[in-house]
Structure 1
């Protein structure tokens, strides 16, 4: 286990040494279970691939980052007055997975996955179906082993809904934290308008995502967000700008470890090695950020809409 753990601070939140110890030890148990869970989910993927075209996405993110979990626990303690010990006990998404199926085989693929997991000793403890939600579409489930009590989250998507979710990652990050409240400088009405703008932009990427037939029979149907058709256009454009800035920031964080590894490897190298390092630095520095197609913003007052280690998106449990 972690042994002595000090206090933690990040993104304006803090954990005391004792709170951090509780959170860290819970995360370490999930880390220890990761290898076996990954192997189990690879088996599920192989079976459903043959029968329904299932694909396991983002396996490299199957363990939630420790700092992400710390932030989640600290946020729950401040915003929801939820004791850190309760968050550590009830958390379901430290180990997390995503399966995708094409729309025509989606519902049957989900049902076959249920059968396979139950055969392995797991039972669903949460089933949230948000295919009718305008901001996030998919099915999020949580599972617990009947004997070991191990828990994990499993999201079911189509390729298109998974793509939209990943493209919305920065908007999800902005909406879940204090960024929009800070941007509004304490004006709650303005902060809500910024959240409405983020919802509208997220919805744009789901507009053409096909809803799989038969999905309505699976899980609890939830609509968690509503769109505000009257959100000012300048608020939409501001949030679009903040999304682009957040994406550039995330890209920079992703590139930093690559540069660090290359530079470490060439510390003892002479000219050629240093030249390669400088070449990589230059290529990464000039690499353009990924740009998504700019979509036309709806005219205010006219309803045009049916409402995220790297986060994988909302956990609905």
Structure 2
């Protein structure tokens, strides 16, 4: 693919992924539609959270109390969508069909305490249906018995508009484990293990199996809520392989640590940008930025010194003439005095 045809290319572990300009246009069009739907869906999710307050509910990413209007992460990142599409396209899939299967551009997570989880989830189901939403057939995946990912994932569709969104149901602890495993999930889905294996399928399988073992470690102390089995289709996607060579586990740990560091750097940069912009947009009394204002003040003071000197009376100048001449002679004898005496004038 030449530069004219290239629309997007991944970075880091995903540098092997790419989209043509036309494929990228289709991706951006779908993403734009999800961005337009976001405000209304954010409001619906806040309503559902508030209606379950007595169950200890929380809407992950909601900071409206701090003045932030959008629910955090309720719109999948554009590059994240690009990566997801590029992985399937790299395996021969048609971009149109791939985009037609995307259900999680708008996505939300509700958490409930384990003792309230099953009842609160079922109540939320009922409220969504009353609002005109229905689960997309086959989308209700209950993986509480899976060793590498625990929770309930669903996709809902508004019957009139056809707008879809993903809704995950977690406990606080299962969501934390999922968050801790995020980089492992990113690496596994991106095809990076296949790149690491240098064309050796068995080694690639071992990398995936090592990632499953590492993810399972973080779920060991997560309480499985009673009654969850009545919700959705029970799915066990992963069978652990404890016999994976230790060196494969170590290599996966290293890849995860590297990506965590990279993601942390990106997050720090995103946080720093608004702070930097706020500092740079500080205003002086006349509306100029603080930095520009200080430089103008210095220039103004410098330009005012000659006029102040010229404004002195002739009598005052004659009166000071002789001392000035004496001072000049003294300065010639000892130049260091000039620096001390001129200091306040600088």
- Superposition pairs of residues 194-233 of structure 1, within 5 angstroms: 194-233=207-246
Name the SS of the counterpart of 1:211 in structure 2.
Answer: coil
State the distance in 1 between where 2:159 and 2:75 align.
21
Per the TM alignment, residue 9 of structure 1 is displaced from its structure 2 partner at its CA by 2.2
Contact 2:153–2:167 (Cα < 8 Å) also in 1:
yes
Tell me the number of residue pairs that the alignment of Structure 1 and Structure 2 aligns: 266
SS of the equivalent of 2:224 reads coil
RMSD between superposed Cα atoms in Å: 1.9
* 3-state secondary structure, aligned to 1:103: coil
Is 1:41–2:45 an aligned residue pair?
yes
Q: Distance in 2 between matches of 1:155 and 1:64?
A: 14
Alignment of 1:164-175 (within 5 A): 164-175=177-188
Aligned to 1:228, what secondary structure does the other structure show? coil
Match of 1:102, SS state, is coil
- Residue of structure 2 aligned with 1:28, choices 32, 40, 44: 32
Q: 1:242 to 1:13 in 2, by over 3 A?
A: closer
Contact 2:83 2:190 in 1 (8 A): no
Q: Which has the higher contact order (CA 8 A, sep 6+)?
A: 1
In structure 1, C-alpha distance between the alignment counterparts of 2:111 and 2:262, rounded to whole Å: 28
- What is the rounded CA distance, in whole Å, between the counterparts of 1:247 and 1:44 in structure 2? 33
Please give the secondary structure, in 1, of the residue aligned with 2:31: helix
Tell me if the contact between 2:87 and 2:191 (Cα under 8 Å) persists in the aligned partners: no
Whole-Å Cα distance in 2 between the matches of residues 178 and 76 of structure 1?
10
SS of residue matched to 1:7: strand
Query: Residue 13 of structure 1: CA displacement?
Result: 2.1
In the alignment, structure 2 segments of 5+ residues that lack a partner are 62-70, 281-288, 295-346
Higher helix share: 2
**Could you tell me how far 1:185 is from its partner in structure 2?**
1.7
8 Å CA contact 2:158–2:164 kept in 1: the answer is yes
The answer for unaligned runs of 5 or more in structure 1 is: 274-317
Q: Could you state the TM-score of these two structures normalised by the residue count of structure 1? A: 0.79
Correspondence 1:191-270 to 2 at 5 A: 191-266=204-279, 269-270=290-291
For the pair 1:77 / 2:89, whether they are aligned, the reply is yes
